[in-house]
Amino acid sequence: MILVFLGPPGAGKGTQAKMLSQECGFLHVSTGDLLREAVKNGTPLGQKAKEYMDRGELVPDELIIALIEEVFPKDNKGVILDGFPRTVKQALALDEFLKKHSKELYRVIFFDAKDEVIVERLSGRRVCSKCGAVYHIKFNPPKVEGVCDICGGTLIQREDDKEDVVRRRLEVYRAQTKELIDFYKKRGILYSLDASKSMQEIYEELKGLVHGC
């Protein structure tokens, strides 16, 4: 089963993708996480991607498409594409890639959330500097303030969660990614979720949309 999670920054795509992949054994492919890892390790991809990410802009399509081709599993395991595709060019490249490997996109889940919800989620998000676990100061706080429950690492704010970059990410989403809603709606594979609900409520709805694992 191949799923795409689409939606504005901070709508909760990563949170739900982690929950579903854990329960179902799906592979969670987050282009954002992969890029952050590449930046951290100073790889050639990371060096090229950093300036775009810091500005809240999209990394060039060619780099992202090559990344997806590299990490896409060769077996038939379920896959959640979280944060990819983000442009029509990426969506067309995904079509081509799937066709070449005789695979099919099952459903696109659109996480629908208003700007107020997004801003509150992004401004309160904290991530572990060691293991990458994601928290929220109000909605999913760690047991000890500023400390990761899992590994004891220090919690930090993502550079691109600062106010001016968030504003830019929202503009970029509207200008370049939003059109994918219609793109997939026309194909009849777009399913919307009200992403302003609680994590558990969304998860129940999500499982209904993908018919369990």
Q: Residue numbers of the site for ligand AP5 (CB under 6 A)?
A: 9-15, 31-32, 35, 52-53, 56-59, 64, 83-84, 86, 90, 121, 124-125, 134-136, 139-140, 160, 169, 198-199, 202
Closer to Zn ion by Cβ: residue 53 or 128: 128
Picked from Zn ion, ligand AP5, none, the partner binding residue 153 (CB below 5 to 8 A depending on kind) is Zn ion
Alpha-carbon distance 90 to 109, whole Å?
17
Closer to ligand AP5 by Cβ: residue 166 or 210: 166
Amino acid at 144: V
Residue 135 annotated as lining a ligand binding site = yes
Q: Are 69 and 96 in contact (CB under 8 A)?
A: no
Provide the edge-to-edge strand list for the sheet that holds 134-136. 134-136, 125-128, 155-156
Of the ranges 57-65, 71-79, 152-160, 200-208, which one interacts with Zn ion (CB under 5 A)?
Answer: 152-160
**Which residue's beta carbon is nearest to the bound ligand AP5?**
32
Share of the chain residues as helix, strand and coil, in percent rounded to the nearest 5:
50, 15, 35
Residue 58 annotated as lining a ligand binding site = yes
Strands 134-136 and 125-128: antiparallel
151 touches Zn ion (CB under 5 A): yes
Closer to ligand AP5 by Cβ: residue 76 or 140: 140
- Structure-block tokens of residue 2: 């191949």
Closer to Zn ion by Cβ: residue 144 or 150: 150
Residue 59 annotated as lining a ligand binding site = yes
Catalytic residues: 13, 86, 125, 158, 169
Exposure letters 54-90 (e unless 16+ CB within 10 A, then b):
eebbbbebebbbebbeeebeeeeebbbbbbbbbbeeb
Residue 131 annotated as lining a ligand binding site = yes
Alpha-carbon distance 165 to 56, whole Å?
5
Q: Where along the sequence are the contacts to Zn ion (CB under 5 A)?
A: 128, 130-131, 133, 148, 150-151, 153
Residues flagged as binding site for AMP: 31, 36, 57-59, 83-86, 90, 158, 169
